[in-house]
Amino acid sequence: MSNDDLYSPTAGKRPRRAFLKSVALAGAAVAGTSMMAATPAQAAQTWKIQSVWDAGTVGYRLFEEWCNEMEEKTNGELIFKPFPAKSVAADNNALFDAVRNGVLQGMNPFTLYWSGKIPASVFLSSYPAGPDQPHQWDTMFYSMGMLEKTREIYKKFGLFYVGPIQHDANIIHSKKPVNSLDDLEGMKIRVPGGMVAEVFQQFGVSTVSLPGSDIFPALEKGTIDAADYVGPAVNWELGFSQVTDYILFGPPGVMSIYQPVDLMDLTVNMRAWNNLDPKLQKIVEEQVRNYSQRHYLTIQKRNVEAMEKFKEAGDTVSRLSQDDLMRFRKAAIPIWYKWANKDEDARAIFDMQLEYMMNDTVGYISEEDIEGME
């Protein structure tokens, strides 16, 4: 602009008009941005997820609380609608199929339930005399490739295995005292099927499989002598103290020698998973890991409180010996291999775990223990 232009009668008008125009354009841009920000990136998705926890138990209350937080965690983009056991799918087989078929988008089961459908699942939760510390399972899943292999296996069934959820050890409530493995002979005990039942049968136990809701009446009627289920917190809520007088643990520091780390998980329909934005997938994975710790620690606290209640009610605790544990492991090892050889997926998971158990940092198994096994 020249000096003459500066003193022209029209000087400043063009800049003023340009300024007003730029303000108007900027305002429109801001308004447009606000409208875009007010609109979610995508419509909210709702997942119906059924747990195997019965309504009213500490397990289901924790699951329900966690599900109800997911909407906030995802800024309203994903909603988890929880359901207790049997509310949509009437039994475990129906639950598995409901998630595969998309009737439910997800489930929160005990992973071991699928041993008849996915043989590898017996090695995705603790098994007789196997790894018995929760951190060992987290190490195998998150640091040694077991999570990735598990997802490959579940993909064949149209499912996505999000991750393990730490739960508890399983213990046995008995109508008569058990102080050693020899005392089990001739008893009729409710235990999970599959590998667990087969190992107990080696010690003269007659095993029966019952859903959790049927255990109390079976003990009350005397149709079974004892029952395995979960840990003290939930078993107290289910009233086991009213129908049994004895609780069986493993050696000191080991609650259970047959299912010391009974894992649950979150598994979802593969189509539902693939429909999620990768950002939401990451959030769900992170929240499952967070929930696993929260679930485990809360139940451990409740276990301590429940054991005091059992003692006040007159229940007596007995423990198996370290020698019993070694005998149990010796009986279990051939059955490990039997299940590992059911298919290539089961063998792949088992081989990962066997290598870990034989490592000197763990030292559960030696070359001598598995001599002749294939």
Query: What does the pLDDT profile of the chain (374 residues) look like in tens digits?
Result: 433 343 333 444 444 444 434 444 444 444 444 443 444 456 799 999 999 998 988 999 999 999 999 999 999 999 999 999 999 999 999 999 999 999 999 999 999 999 999 999 999 999 999 999 999 999 999 999 999 999 999 999 999 999 999 999 999 999 999 999 999 999 999 998 889 999 999 999 999 988 888 999 999 999 999 999 999 999 999 999 999 999 999 999 899 999 999 999 999 999 999 999 999 999 999 999 999 999 999 999 999 999 999 999 999 999 999 999 999 999 999 999 999 999 999 999 999 999 999 999 999 999 999 999 99
Q: What is the dihedral of CA 148, 154, 159, 163, to 10 degrees?
A: -40
Q: Is 229 annotated as a binding residue?
A: yes
174 closest CA partner among 258, 256, 259, 246? 246
Give me the residue spans of the domains in the chain.
45-166+262-306, 171-259+317-344
Q: What is the pLDDT of residue 193?
A: 81
201-209 contact pairs (CB < 8 A, 24+): 202/331, 202/335, 203/331
Distance, CA of 43 to CA of 312 (rounded, Å): 53
* Residue 368 CB neighbours (<10 A): 6
**190 annotated ligand binder:** yes
3-class secondary-structure state, position 264: strand
pTM, full prediction:
0.85
Q: Is 228 annotated for ligand binding?
A: yes
Torsion of CA 165, 169, 172, 173, to 10 degrees: -80
CA distance linking residue 84 with residue 60, whole number of Å: 7
Q: Is 154 annotated as a binding residue?
A: no
E strands within 209-357? Answer: 226-228, 246-249, 262-269, 316-319
Coil/strand/helix, residue 159: strand
Does 259 appear as a known binding residue?
A: yes
Q: What is the distance between the alpha carbons of residues 159 and 43, in angstroms, rounded to a whole number?
A: 23
